[in-house]
A = this chain, B = another copy of it.
Amino acid sequence: SKKLRIAVLAGDGIGKEVMPEGIRVLEAAAKRFDLPLEMQHFDWAHCDYFAAHGQMMPDDWKAQLQGFDAILFGAVGWPATVPDHVSLWGSLLKFRREFDQYINLRPVRLFDGVPCPLAGRKPGDIDYYVVRENTEGEYTALGGIMFEGTDREMVLQEAVFTRKGADRLLKFAFDLAQSRSKKHVTLATKSNGIAISMPWWDKCAEAMAQNYPDVVLDKQHIDILTARFVLQPGRFDVVAATNLFGDILSDLGPATTGTIGLAPSANLNPERNFPSLFEPVHGSAPDIYGQNIANPIAMIWSVALMLDFLGNGQGAWRSAHDAIVDAISQTILSGPRTPDLGGQAKTPDVGKAIAQVL
């Protein structure tokens, strides 16, 4: 059968340390489940490349990656040499936009064996998805500064939402909720303060809910929603959010499960017109880079999400996804563990252990 093609970009900092472990586990899974895959490495989309070429990626990056089925991405950013907004807008944010990866899917789950920062919560109590709009909204470079340098200096910042963008995000969220037992969608809103876009989001969500009579829609203002992630995490199932709100919720959610070092993410173009991208939520972590103590689990879990997506959640691909997540659970419980989980293991120790369980 035709091989699915994976582009591998490790990026900066600990991206370079966790990626080999992601690949180790990917190879183990491909072998065990007989998945037809091939990988190709690319040595750009990192700040060393920027230092040499004055840009993050070659001009033909799109042509080079277009034919791939998925992109496995480590982390980008090395602020000591390249400002974050330059490195990010020149790579990751380009992928998300130009490959129309309009869904950013981020599971939030409490694992047995990870000390929970919330008192009295146990595995099963925290288990939901953040479905984040990933291409538009609050992340724009539109607007400007006026009267600069005078005491009338002011800034306009635009956010841009499209009906198409809201509807496809909401459809994905409602479909996901329908496939789960709770059948519950929370919309992150702020219609009592942000007076044009947020009441409009409320209406889009209410209209979409009409198509899903068996799914409950609960609109919550982003302020109280963050409070409830801490106080009542059990009430969430699928949380649909704009780019900014989803960014916030998908760091906060994992934090309530003990560490953002475990959190994976899938940047999806569900129609498969472009490659989708899979990456850990954590960044390049310059502060710990070089010691090989980064936790590779977020990278490995991202590999699992990739396989699930590549196989449409079916057959051997779904089994591979489930087996990796099980191996992660088991390894968290039994060790080895990196320092962020209280252990003394190195990055490869954890990768090897998970590959071993597989």
Contacts and interface: CB of A to CB of B under 8 A. Distances in A.
Contacts of A164: 151-153
A143 B196 contact: yes
Interface centre among A84, A120, A161, A230 (most CB of B within 10 A): A230
Contacts of A154: 160-163
A118 interface: yes
A196 B141 contact: yes
B195 A260 contact: no
Interface stretch (A51-59, A185-193, A264-272, A293-301): A185-193
Interface in A128-177: 138-145, 151-164
Number of copies: 2
A247 interface: yes
Interface stretch (A25-33, A208-216, A219-227): A219-227
B243 A193 contact: yes
A158 B160 contact: no
6 residue pairs, one from A and one from B, having the closest CB atoms? A227-B255, A153-B163, A157-B197, A141-B195, A223-B251, A143-B196
Interface of A: 84-85, 88-89, 93, 115-120, 138-145, 151-164, 190-200, 222-224, 226-228, 230-231, 243-244, 247-248, 250-252, 254-256, 259-260
